[in-house]
Chains A and B, each alone.
Chain A
Amino acid sequence: MQQRRSDQYRLYAMFSRQMFGVCLRYAASHDEAQDMLQEGFIKVFSKLSSYNGKGAFEGWIRRIFVHVAIEKYRARVYHLPLEDVVDYEAHVHHNHGVDTLHARDILRFVQQLPLQYRMVFNLYALEGYSHKEIARELKISESTSRSNLARARVLLKDKLNQEVKLEVKAI
């Protein structure tokens, strides 16, 4: 069993950095991300025998972590007011402020998004889920998913612009 635990640690050491990055995107805080990391790896080790070798192992692990994030979301979901799709795109202007910011700042902006916006944005923009899939996983309507994504983009754009302005002022 000690040997087995050593092997588990090797696997953990190999993927913990990447998966902690994933957890930080879905969590609102460092502590919450650590909880997700713990839960995710316990699931990985307990389901390891079910990995059939098809597809990349890293992708398999990543899916488990995304599902842990979704389960945590379901457990503590709060109801945001449902809104019709609003054309937030009209308010979005291209801005290359992202280029000038550090990953740490961008991560902070994502973490500061309201829970449901953060989930939808992560699943859509980073995991490549469709709105139909997001609606099924988060138990919301597709239109709500679209609305949340649009709002998340607006919030992120505002934060990025504010940050860039601050940096320009500082210069």
Chain B
Amino acid sequence: MDRHYIDKRISEVLEGLEVNPPVEAWLAVSDGLDRRARRRRLPLLMGMAASVAAFIAVALSLWLLQPFAVQPDWMAERQELPQAMESLAAEPLAQTHHQSHPEGRPLNWHASQDAPLAADYVPESSIAPPMTVIGGEAVMPVSRHALAFADDLPPMPVAPASQTPADGMFSSMFASLETTEPGGKFSLGVHIAPRQNQRLLARNSDFNNLGIPFESLEEGLLTYGMGMYLSYELRPGLSVQTGVNYLATGQHVHDIVAYQHPGNLPVFETDSRTGMMTHPQRILTSQGGIRFHDPHHYFADVQSNRVITENQSKTGIEVRSLRKTHEGLTQVFHFLEIPLILRYTLAEGLIGIHLKGGASGNFLLENEVFAGKNLQQPSIGETYGIRHFNVSAIGGLVFDMALTSRLKLHMEPTVQLFLNPIISEGMMIGHAYPYSYSLQTGISYGF
């Protein structure tokens, strides 16, 4: 069948039509490719969020399902109190109140003027649950404050001596790790943590930023850390831990614009013999000076005066042909950390609460600089003058929950402050002390 004359004529004109797309079109394609790459790496952050959500969900579920707390190891040891202490705890106390149950059954309440009695000196037989049974009635040590409500209390139920629901729930899951022996003084743990990094500036910069303080030119950075640790219980409620962690700190640097050739051709020349290039630009930040090893970028500052351009060794490319590709830079410092931390128990129960504090040595592994905020691109430079060894202080809380007698889930809101400026003295622009907030989530195994 012959083609319709309109089809034929129009296709003849439009078939081989070639139109130059705008220059921005390639940048849009390039950005789109970067976004796709970023999306593929999202699972890391999603995994971290999922682990936090899982911890909360498991903790909440067990809290709702379990009427009695899992007996922690350190409380079990307290059952081995000296005989004198035990007899003291077992004896009728200075003030003993005999009250009648509303149904006529006698209920024997022991009370002391020393309120914390119940938690500290409970005899073995009354720890889980914290009471004894005499003649079918519950007898439990109780504080004076509790007496005000005694009339409303029903007889205490007697807990079965079998496993707790939490043990039952997880015993099959972790059967291969379980033994009949409870966890010992050592525990081994792993954790992962999102970190929000900031820095303190102890002294204003001497460098001339045209009067603009670094605070308004820089911004904190979200990174992550992970590691493993070994913990040893020094005495009940007090343990010491060490290990090895990987962590990243850094910051976003604003007020810098990066330009590239639309075809990503190099802006600066590379030595044909060595294959090396010396990028003629430096950028000063509160956390050191940045130098570049990628010849494809040209930088300019907007309001401040931080881009230092030395002798030009540009290729034949006209600056006018360059296109703005990124706003700002991101400095990232990777550290290997060896911490030494003391952990003190504040409260035990289904969820234990502990206080932690200590110090760590941080060894610089690598430092990178990225164009814009996308850390998935290749690094284009580095920060020079960064100390290779730093000392930091660590503090925070530890929330843990026993899954079995050996396994525990942990969630640890942690603050870390570098005790020395991250930049070497000779390179000092400002006294920047990095600090971070993080939420370590992990699991530990006692043995």
User: Contact residues of A with B, CB < 8 Å?
Assistant: 1-2, 5-6, 8-10, 12-13, 16-18, 20-22, 24-25, 34, 37-39, 41-42, 45-46, 92, 94, 96, 98-99, 101, 103, 106-107, 110, 121, 124-126, 153, 156-157, 160
Q: Is B94 an interface residue (CB 8 A)?
A: no
Contact of A6 among B7, B263, B294, B378 (CB under 8 A): B263
Complex Cα distance, B14 from A88, in Å, reads: 23
Decide yes or no: A110 and B10 within 8 Å by CB, A2-B378, A45-B33 being known contacts.
Answer: yes
Q: Are A156 and B18 in contact (CB under 8 A)?
A: no
Q: Are A94 and B5 in contact (CB under 8 A)?
A: yes
Q: Are B14 and A9 in contact (CB under 8 A)?
A: no
Residue of B nearest to A13 (CB): B263
A98 proximity list for chain B (CB < 8 A) = 6, 9-10, 13
Q: Are A106 and B19 in contact (CB under 8 A)?
A: no
B99 proximity list for chain A (CB < 8 A) = none
Decide yes or no: A25 and B264 within 8 Å by CB, A1-B378, A2-B296 being known contacts.
Answer: no
A94 proximity list for chain B (CB < 8 A) = 5
B93 to chain A minimum Cβ distance, whole angstroms, is 74
Q: Which of B1-45 contact A (CB under 8 A)?
A: 3-7, 9-11, 13-22, 24-26, 28-30, 32-33, 36
Some 12 contacts from A to B, beta carbons below 8 A apart, are A12-B29, A21-B14, A24-B17, A25-B14, A34-B21, A34-B24, A34-B28, A41-B29, A99-B9, A110-B10, A125-B4, A126-B11
Complex Cα distance, B383 from A169, in Å, reads: 70
Q: Is B377 an interface residue (CB 8 A)?
A: yes
Q: Looking at chain A's contact residues, is the secondary structure mostly helix, strand, loop, or mixed?
A: helix
A25 proximity list for chain B (CB < 8 A) = 14, 17
Complex Cα distance, B6 from A157, in Å, reads: 7
Residue of A nearest to B22 (CB): A34
B12 to chain A minimum Cβ distance, whole angstroms, is 8
A121 proximity list for chain B (CB < 8 A) = 7
B24 to chain A minimum Cβ distance, whole angstroms, is 8
Q: Are B10 and A125 in contact (CB under 8 A)?
A: yes
Residue of B nearest to A106 (CB): B13
Q: Are A42 and B29 in contact (CB under 8 A)?
A: yes
Residue of B nearest to A124 (CB): B7
A130 to chain B minimum Cβ distance, whole angstroms, is 11
A9 proximity list for chain B (CB < 8 A) = 26, 30, 262-264
Q: Are B4 and A153 in contact (CB under 8 A)?
A: yes
Complex Cα distance, B5 from A153, in Å, reads: 10
Complex Cα distance, B25 from A1, in Å, reads: 20
Q: Are B19 and A24 in contact (CB under 8 A)?
A: yes
6 A-B pairs besides A17-B20, A46-B36 with CB distance below 8 A are: A1-B377, A21-B17, A45-B33, A103-B17, A106-B13, A125-B4
B7 proximity list for chain A (CB < 8 A) = 121, 124-125, 153
A10 proximity list for chain B (CB < 8 A) = 263
Q: Which of B220-260 contact A (CB under 8 A)?
A: none
